Structure 1
């Protein structure tokens, strides 16, 4: 019996030695696999940062070609971008080298418990560092560059003088001050090239907020009486009498003019680098607010009044507009075909002349 027990103990000891050796082999294999993966990831880091630098340099070059910056400014920006990307490579490689060192010093079992500092590359192309169980990820997935973009967008800002064309009257007889009545327009536009291989014809469309302001003369102000709005004399001394209509409109213009072609290996772009342009079209939308502000004196005391009501202004607005200019700047004219007020004996139509900036 003692002999059988000795044999069984010897067999068990032999099996334990084999299991321990197998575990060590698995652990070493897992560590070596992970080390090799991190070494390969170091090349990925270099490629990513170089691609980022290439994109930044191309953006700086486009700004230079558009005249937004000088040659010296462009070179300085390129040097700063190169320095930043070089430091990024250095720092990111140092993190990976530290991770490799941890794997080389520790076995797989112990390393798996080191959650205080774990470097990982996720399937979503995220580069992340886990510190104190909080993960900070940087998305490194590079969006493929589209070779040809037929639709672009830009920000619209316009400002200028505002008044009204009144049936049977000239602008000299207008009740609104010619110099101080003005308008402001803010919006967002999209521009689509109509022809596939030529940028000469473009369709421009979007939305805008228009603020049309009238400064009234001769101590006049508007008073709403039922369905009729009348221009009457204020009983006291008016220091200010301002009437403002706010519209939300959707303009559409056919834009014509040459564009500069930038044909590169991986992309084709067209830019308006101080090229002549002309736009013809119109707009339609809604009146979203009407206000009147009065400032006057009563017995030597200054009072202010803000009146917010419809004043029988037209709810549906529409009109014609056009612009002509160079680059981002143009002379701008718009004219409302819809009357300012409903149910008036004499129609009034808003007209605006100013400067328009299309900033892309």
Structure 2
């Protein structure tokens, strides 16, 4: 009994010490985070000045260009320059005032007062950098963090769906070995879009990764079979209810996207909107084949329904690359892609995958 009491006393003392150490660490962490936030906010003030001065420089250049073309008089140009300078000075004053208010809240109330919400933290040790814990859980609402003035990169969820087919050398879709309506593709991925030029959004660089699922339904009651190093379509001895071959790929698309956009300027941010604007993208992709499979259904000689699924290599090329393009309005586009690689190795027909469908870019 005495031993048990002793154990309890030791454990209790340990927890008290751990709690004390955790509280001390939390207090020091709080101070560290406040100092880091204030340091970042002070840097933001210099960024604000630089952004507004650069914007003023661009405005003045535009005014001088209009003056040189004779669109405005010298007096009008001077008036516009003064108005632009006054507006930019007020922007700097107002934006810095907002930042100073955030700093004052941090200095007076710490992170909790600045956020206006409570904080959840479980800190069981380890070094940390800003808001990242090595071990533990930390949540902090980021309402006090500054809005990024000019966000040049955005991200979208990409979904593509449509018709798929394959054509060989000196072959067209009219004499394709695959059903036009029955062969389909599906694509799912993530794309990032970065504005190429600092003060113009007519050209964007779009990149990311996608999973592509390319399905082919052979005509004339045939399935794919491997014959040594060659994969070929062979006629099935029984009547097929369904026959479908599919390649699954992981690819990394890269596109240059063109199109107009609307510049939206507010006191604390600049954004470029492509809503209700036509856009056009051209580029390509490269990646790896993940898997290949052949599925078919038929009734055997006893009348029983049989489903077969053969997953294998099928002598399919492991590396995938091709060209793709799209043209659309808002987040919907007509989408086409064409593989430059042959679907199968050692294929005398040089069969290549081709797709046409609809692409959705969801932000």
TM, length-normalised to structure 1? 0.62
| Gap regions ≥5 residues in structure 2 | 1-109, 122-136
Q: Distance in 2 between matches of 1:239 and 1:172?
A: 23
TM superposition shift of 1:227: 0.9
TM superposition shift of 1:138: 7.1
1:273 is matched with 275
1:324 is matched with 327
1:239 is matched with 241
2:203 pairs, out of 182, 201, 204, with 201
2:159 is matched with 157
How well do the aligned residues superpose, as a CA RMSD in angstroms? 2.2
In the TM superposition, what whole-angstrom CA distance separates every residue of 1:259-314 from its partner, at most 9, and x where no partner exists?
A: 12211110111121110110010000000010110101112111000000010111
TM superposition shift of 1:184: 0.5
Alignment of 1:3-152 (within 5 A): 127=118, 139-141=140-142, 142-152=144-154
1:185 is matched with 187
TM superposition shift of 1:168: 2.5
Q: Distance in 1 between matches of 2:254 and 2:172?
A: 29
1:285 is matched with 287
Would you say 1:352 and 2:355 are equivalent positions? yes
Moved >4 Å (runs of 4+): 120-126
Cα pair 1:158 1:357 within 8 Å, conserved: yes
TM superposition shift of 1:146: 0.7
| Gap regions ≥5 residues in structure 1 | 1-119, 131-135
In the TM superposition, what whole-angstrom CA distance separates every residue of 1:81-137 from its partner, at most 9, and x where no partner exists?
A: xxxxxxxxxxxxxxxxxxxxxxxxxxxxxxxxxxxxxxx98699662699xxxxx99
2:296 is matched with 294
Cα pair 2:120 2:139 within 8 Å, conserved: no
TM superposition shift of 1:161: 0.4
Q: Distance in 2 between matches of 1:122 and 1:278?
A: 47
1:42 is matched with none
Deviates more, 1:250-259 or 1:139-148: 139-148
TM superposition shift of 1:169: 2.3
TM, length-normalised to structure 2? 0.62
1:24 is matched with none
Q: Distance in 2 between matches of 1:129 and 1:250?
A: 38
1:213 is matched with 215
The aligned length equals 236
Which has the greater radius of gyration? 1
In the TM superposition, what whole-angstrom CA distance separates every residue of 1:10-61 from its partner, at most 9, and x where no partner exists?
A: xxxxxxxxxxxxxxxxxxxxxxxxxxxxxxxxxxxxxxxxxxxxxxxxxxxx
1:22 is matched with none
TM superposition shift of 1:213: 0.3
2:309 pairs, out of 294, 306, 309, with 306
Q: Distance in 1 between matches of 2:111 and 2:153?
A: 35
In the TM superposition, what whole-angstrom CA distance separates every residue of 1:303-332 from its partner, at most 9, and x where no partner exists?
A: 000000010111001000000111111111
1:343 pairs, out of 330, 343, 346, with 346
Cα pair 1:158 1:185 within 8 Å, conserved: yes
Secondary structure of the structure 1 residue equivalent to 2:118:
strand
